[in-house]
Amino acid sequence: MRTDAAHIVVCSGFAHALRLLFGGRVLRGPLAVESYGLAFHRGLLAEAGVRTRPLEVDADGAQIDDLRERAVLLTPAHQFPTGVPLHPRRRAAVVERAGASGGVIVEDDYDGEFRYDRRPVGALQGLDPDRVVYVGSVSKSLSPALRLGWMALPGRLVDAVLAAKGEREAWASALDQLTLADFLRSGAYDRHVRRMRQRYRRRRDRCTAALAERAPHVRPSGVAAGLHMVLRLPDGTEEATVRAAERARIAVDGLAAFRHPDAAGPPVDGLVVGYAAPAEHAFGPALRALLDVLPSRDG
């Protein structure tokens, strides 16, 4: 990234950033979004009167060739939830389009600390700090209960975001900010991330090995980074598998829960499985229970 303290505004997480940017009328719609993403975020945008249009997602990430809006929201390092990174050619293209149109890219880097099988993917913000709003948080690296995030903003947006935020901080605790600052300065944050990266990688490896042995027809994807994987299921089996998981008290989501209602491409059956949450003693039983509810090869 390329920024400095004067361009960073603290917020309580990505949802708060959306409220400030679009609810505060700093940015306006229509907004292009990825065809798979959090319905909660789309709801926040709808409440702010922002119309969203989906960009289909394939093995190279969002299909930038279909972009016609001046503002776009992307998860380029690790598309949520499919897990694919935005192809370098598309990364360059979307930044070039933003520069040519005077547009803005909102970059959600929700799990940038956790990479396993590849070098870290650089932020889009580093390609053009004047056209990219970079949003990060500690929801994955520390805890979603710690409501603390940040925006690295183009200089021209800083005053408008601060005005939308107001003079009195109603969201991010000053004590939490000071504690995180000390955590960073001391090196404890880096040590924590390295330790957790090793733990999550071991969990990822246990999941993929168990799937290869017990359910080789269920293909995991998006496993090179992050804290979740997508299990591709036989066609027509997603809904029944989600219900079976609920009966087994396993918290997973179907891909359908993340699909934009206006998405045009064919839906894909799959499960979004987070492997970071279970306590260490519960991880093995949870994994075995998940394997028990997966559909057979013929569905």
Classify 82 as helix, strand or coil: coil
Count of CB atoms within 10 A of residue 284's CB? 12
Whether the per-residue pLDDT at 299 is higher than 70: the answer is no
HSE, CB side, 13 Å, CA atoms: give it for residue 94.
Answer: 29
Q: Show the domains of the chain with their CATH numbers.
A: 5-185 (3.40.640.10), 189-293 (3.90.1150.10)
Q: What is the pLDDT of residues 75-124, one digit of tens each?
A: 999 999 999 999 999 999 999 999 999 999 999 998 888 888 767 778 99
Average pLDDT of the chain to the nearest whole number? 94
Quickly list H helices, the chain: 14-18, 39-47, 88-101, 155-165, 174-185, 188-214, 238-247, 280-293
Mean pLDDT of 163-192: 90
Mean pLDDT of 267-274: 95
Mean pLDDT of 59-83: 95
Whether the per-residue pLDDT at 26 is higher than 70: the answer is yes
| pLDDT at 249 (0 to 100) | 93
CB 241 within 8 A of CB 293: yes
Distance CA 51, CA 84 (A): 25
Q: Which of 34, 126, 47 has the alpha carbon at shortest distance from 81?
A: 34
Q: What is the pLDDT of residues 235-249, one digit of tens each?
A: 999 999 999 999 999
